[in-house]
Chain A
């Protein structure tokens, strides 16, 4: 891909394009434009030339389009799976065909040049008989498809056009250019329906309406000439004909436009945005319907009733699974009752759970209603009594939830970051940035302190300066990884000897003796390297850092890293992430918490160290 990136810049104005193609035949370009009905407001619907190389497929073209439009809203709203490239085909092109047959010389200078070319290249298209069959063209016509050229074009459900008197003329059109090109032979061999769908229909990219507007002369000629009146083709709406992703662009150009340089901006291929890019002929209206968001199904949520399961889940919950959302329903330890899903009201036989209506999904939610983001997880009961009666464990959770109701908020905001910076200026900048984004953080001034703060637990992400006094960032990272290994963090062996120490500390949860606030997943260490040198980066990665940022840290970038790694951490170890949230809340409760408590914790950790 890197070599391709180099030639991605392309020409945007038609005049430039012409100049370039004339001067440099080896630069291949294809005009594309967005389909009008899907036009993003900030894009002008001008045709754009996209450069491509001769081995590029339609898929590659999509990549190039995204590269070109990469900063536009359109590009954010679409990806290469949701767009299709093709043409709008109207099946009553007999008009044009007939017209062109009549006056080919006139067509030459009109925007419908593409049509004229197709009259020439049409031969390439019709030797694919399956197309007729696949698209409801009247069956008896199929065997004849190789002959009358508009049989292959009758890709609309309406086959009646075939019966029009024009079929005879169509046949004559065929005789004009009797030779098959190699592409056509290729097509013939490549007989799957999708390709033939394209073949049958890949006519002019000039939309019917457009053609009308651009060349009224043609229309009038057509109307007065041999062609049937538009009324005769009530159902021949323009429809999408998508190109196969593995089609070579160069072939497409040759087929559609008769050569790689013949395409004009007005003949631009259309980019269809749709969630469905199957090579079927969508009516435009249908397509709009498909844009509707798909409601999430309750069956996508899995019920987890004990910690073991949760842990198992969090271990298996890797990146690939993230699109399948897992709602985690927290139940008291040892709870064995069954919970009925997908009913939003969780009924349970256990009375303890009954009193805690908090463990149900929002009861006000309509039955089988779609789960919205904040309903994933815990929803607090509105009844204060229920909250009061909850166990201490529950209460902390409830507090967490009431303070921050939206899960999506938490993912960004509720990770704990340790900033390890010896330079107060840099630390102030990073701290201020994190405060601004309401991300909780701790700071450390050197490697030793960093390890201590990490040992206190609850840290998801460490931003580690490498040039630290006392213990360098590299050594600190190594030490942290060593300790993680020692404690079995990130492995199945979860119980650490050290966690016992934490049970005696006031802020550890007495109900959950097995849980320390130590992370059960390996912490993410992002090295902050001062120099751009590769040796530093390699050294950092070898020491166990997951990532690095070059100083001075670009704050936009930092935000992205934090989101990225933060989300990952929350997914890897939900338990810990949740506990982290509890910490955050208690931290917020007492304003003076951080300096005083931390210093005492440092002392404690130092004791633990020895």
Chain B
């Protein structure tokens, strides 16, 4: 599956520039959006973390993954989106299963945890890159 290959670049500039182009009409639109996104992402990461540490409901993890994936992709932050997609699919047990075995939910949860860390790293990378772009610490 092609979706299992993580995109090379942190930011898909084609997508991101579409957002930036809307600054024409409302200045700082994209920057504010990015700031809003980073808030949202941080919150969502925490929620995923809480879910993992708490009830660990896979369905909930999947929907959180889906949620963040949507906004990440919309901004062109494709590596975060990729990690979120993994979380989503793991939560739905669509991937990460072992052939011929029934694996416990904890198996998926562990993989989600892995991908959460991955997503956090990508988050930092994206933040750094966009801070450079806007020439200010985000």
Contacts and interface: CB of A to CB of B under 8 A. Distances in A.
Given A436-B25, A467-B63, A428 B69 contact: no
A555 interface: yes
Nearest to A428: B33
B19 interface: yes
Contacts of B66: 467, 530
Interface in A451-481: 465, 467, 469
Contacts of B63: 467, 469
Contacts of B85: 531
Contact of A433 (B22, B73, B75): B22
Nearest to A435: B25
A549 B125 CA distance: 29
Nearest to A466: B66
Contacts of A421: 70
A425 B75 contact: yes
Contacts of B70: 421, 423, 425-426, 465, 467, 530, 551
B36 interface: yes
A432 B67 contact: no
A424 interface: yes
B15 A552 contact: yes
A422 interface: yes
Given A530-B70, A551-B73, A553-B74, A432 B40 contact: no
B18 interface: yes
A556 to B, nearest CB: 8
Nearest to A425: B71
Which among B69, B70, B85 has the greatest number of chain A C-beta atoms within 10 A?
B70
A72 to B, nearest CB: 23
B20 to A, nearest CB: 11
Contacts of A433: 22
A425 B25 contact: no
Interface residues of B, number: 24
Give the bracket for the number of chain A residues in contact with chain B: 20 to 34
Contacts of A428: 33, 36
Which among A426, A469, A532 has the greatest number of chain B C-beta atoms within 10 A?
A426
A429 interface: yes
A429 B19 contact: yes
Contacts of A530: 66, 69-70, 73
B45 to A, nearest CB: 15
Contacts of A469: 63
A424 B24 CA distance: 21
B26 A432 contact: yes
Interface string B50-85: 000000000000010011011101111000000001
A85 B78 CA distance: 47
Contacts of B29: 432
A599 to B, nearest CB: 22
A422 B64 CA distance: 11
A552 B73 contact: yes
A551 B3 CA distance: 14
Contacts of B67: 422-423, 467
Given A425-B36, A467-B63, A555 B71 contact: no
A551 B110 CA distance: 28
Nearest to A426: B74
A222 B126 CA distance: 75
Contacts of A426: 70-71, 74
Interface string B1-44: 00100000000000100110010111001000100110010000
Contact of B25 (A432, A552, A554): A432
A431 to B, nearest CB: 10
Nearest to A430: B74
Interface string A523-560: 00000001110000000000000000001111100000
A432 B22 contact: yes
Contacts of A551: 70, 73-74
Interface in A199-255: none
A530 B37 CA distance: 18
A423 B71 contact: yes
Which among A425, A429, A553 has the greatest number of chain B C-beta atoms within 10 A?
A425
B32 to A, nearest CB: 9
A423 B70 CA distance: 7
A596 to B, nearest CB: 22
Contacts of A554: 18
Interface in A548-575: 551-555
B23 to A, nearest CB: 10
B79 to A, nearest CB: 14
B22 A436 contact: yes
A424 B73 contact: no
Contact of B37 (A425, A436, A467): A425
Interface string A425-455: 1101100110110000000000000000000
Contacts of A435: 25-26
Nearest to B22: A432
Which among A435, A467, A552, A553 has the greatest number of chain B C-beta atoms within 10 A?
A552
A551 B71 CA distance: 9
Interface in A388-431: 421-426, 428-429
Contacts of A423: 40, 67, 70-71, 74
Contacts of B26: 432, 435
A447 B56 CA distance: 25
A429 B74 contact: yes
The 8 A-B residue pairs with the shortest CB-CB distance, nearest first, are: A425-B71, A552-B73, A552-B74, A423-B71, A467-B66, A423-B70, A426-B74, A432-B22
6 contacts: A423-B67, A425-B70, A436-B24, A467-B66, A531-B85, A551-B74
Interface of B: 3, 15, 18-19, 22, 24-26, 29, 33, 36-37, 40, 63, 66-67, 69-71, 73-76, 85
Given A424-B71, A435-B25, A436-B25, 5 more contacts: A423-B71, A425-B37, A429-B75, A432-B22, A530-B73
Interface of A: 421-426, 428-429, 432-433, 435-436, 465, 467, 469, 530-532, 551-555
